Structures are given as structure tokens and as C-alpha cells.
Amino acid sequence: MRLGLIGYGTIAQTLLDTMQATGTRADALIVLVRAGTEARVPAGHPAADAVHVVTDAAGLLAHAPDLVVECAGHAAVSAHVPPLLEAGTDVVVVSVGALADAALHDRLTGAATRGGARLILPPGAVGGVDILAALGLGGDLAVTYRGTKPPRAWAGTPAEEVCDLGALTGPATIFTGTAREAATAYPKNANVAATLALAGAGFEATRVELVADPAAPGNLHAFEAVSPLGRVTVSIENTPSGNARTSMTTIYSVLRAIRTHAGLTVI
């Protein structure tokens, strides 16, 4: 497969290492980085036969990727993903929180429709998205998500105005609201809330609670989904990657999306 990557940070680099470790090879790897940072991408990688570096979507398309993985952020989704979809290229968007912006979400689905391409949203740091999506189709679904992180993980967010993060001795709720409000107030922590909202009950009907807990061993995600079809609870304790905000399960979730795209059986 000819694999495109947007961004060359923690997820992209660790993803390539997991590809190598799992025998997932790319015939060509095309990496889109910001102009002026091309030299940060090594000339070769054991997971790919060839590596090309580009700085915009046209450059990516010139190398005819079979699949592109966005792992760069909201601005990169907005700048680069619509033209790729419009040109008929399937794109895995890891910065799912960007889709809380309804106008951007519409642009992406419009481009995918016109291009006949698929916008693929991996579960990322959360799990249970399959059954959540199934319950969503049945209607009358209520979802409550709780995201818990150590106090230091909330530094530089509006949580600092709610409590003294450094003085906490027990769990403190720093936000309650809809998934849409959570994505706006905490954009860097919006991916899981947005993924659950998009899969299940939507941004307004998904309730979010964010918690700072000095006893949290890492990033915890828990949600409850209640519908006439059943009641589901999911609780996940993730191991961080090199970037404390990005868990290893996110990277393996992207690896799974790549393997599924290239595979004959989808599970």
C-alpha cells in the first residue's frame, strides 16, 4: 500500500515503529509536514520501501496514496483533508475533536461525497465504539462520558479557573456539559468526547464530565450508554505514549485502521 501521513509527531513516528514491529509494510510512505521542517523526516524507514516528503495536499496526491492518515491537529484537518477526500482518497482522521466544528464536519462530508472517498474515524483512545454505534441506530440513546486525568494534565486549560489543580487531594469535577461544549472549552482533550458523540447520540445528547484526580494512574475513559436495546458500560485505563496526552491504544487503533483498509476481512 502507498500510505500518506499528515504530521510527523508522536503518533506518526510511533505508528511507523508499530508497523515495523507487526510486519505491516508500505510500498511507499508520503509524509506531509509544514514547509521548512522537511529535514525532520528521515530519508528512509524499515516499514516502507521509499519515503517522500511533501508540504501540501497536492504534493501528497502527486504520489497517489491509497490511504492517508491525518495525525497533526485541527488546522491540518481543515487545510489538507477536504482536497484529499475531494480527489477520491480515503483519509483516517485521528484529530476527531476537529469534527466538533459543525462547519468543518460539513465540509469533510461534502468533499467525501463529491470525491466518492471515505472519511474514517478510528476509535483512538476509546473503545466500545462498535456497540455504541449499533445502539445509536436503535434511537433513544443516552450517553454519559467521564474523562479522568491527573491534575497536571489539565494545566493550561479552563480547569485552572475552577480549582487549584496543584492543591487537590482528591478527585474534582472540572467540567460538566455537552460533548459540543466540552470540545469548545477543552479542544486539546476533545477527541474521545467527539468520537463517542459522532458514533452514538450526537454532540448535544452526549453528556461529558471531566475530572482531575491526583490518584489517577494515567488517562481514564469511562462511558455509560443506555437505550431500549440495552445498557453498556466501558472503562479504559490507557498507557501514555511519548506524548502524555496521547495514549498507546490510539496509535494501535490507527494501525488497525490501516490494516483493515488493506485487508480482506474486516472485524
Ligand X SMILES: NC(=O)c1ccc[n+]([C@@H]2O[C@H](COP(=O)([O-])OP(=O)(O)OC[C@H]3O[C@@H](n4cnc5c(N)ncnc54)[C@H](O)[C@@H]3O)[C@@H](O)[C@H]2O)c1
Site for ligand X in 28-47 (CB under 6 A): 32-34
Residue nearest to ligand X (CB): 9
Catalytic residue among 52, 74, 80, 221: 221
Interaction of residue 109 with ligand X, rule CB under 6 A: no
Q: Is residue 85 involved in binding ligand X (CB under 6 A)?
A: no
Q: Give the strands of the sheet with 67-70, arranged side by side.
A: 51-54, 28-32, 2-6, 67-70, 90-93, 119-120
The three three-digit cell numbers of residue 168, written as one number: 487537590
DSSP-derived pairing of the beta strands 142-149 and 172-178:
unpaired
The nearest distance, CB 226 to ligand X, in angstroms, is 23
Residue 94 sits in the site that holds ligand X (CB under 6 A): yes
* 24, 191, 227, 238: which one binds ligand X (CB under 6 A): 191
Binders of ligand X in range 225-264 (CB under 6 A): 243, 246, 250
Is 45 labeled as catalytic in the residue annotation? no
What strands lie across the sheet with 230-238, from one edge to the other?
A: 172-178, 206-212, 142-149, 219-227, 230-238
Residue among 191 and 206 whose Cβ is closer to ligand X: 191
Residue 187: left (phi > 0), alpha (psi -120 to 50), or beta? alpha
d(CA 12, CA 131): 28
Q: Is 148 in the site for ligand X (CB under 6 A)?
A: no
Candidate residues 71, 100, 129, 197; the one interacting with ligand X per rule CB under 6 A: 71
Residue 229 CB, nearest approach to ligand X (Å): 25
Distance, CA of 73 to CA of 113 (rounded, Å): 23
According to the binding rule CB under 6 A, does residue 95 interact with ligand X?
A: yes
Question: What are the residue numbers of the active site?
Answer: 221
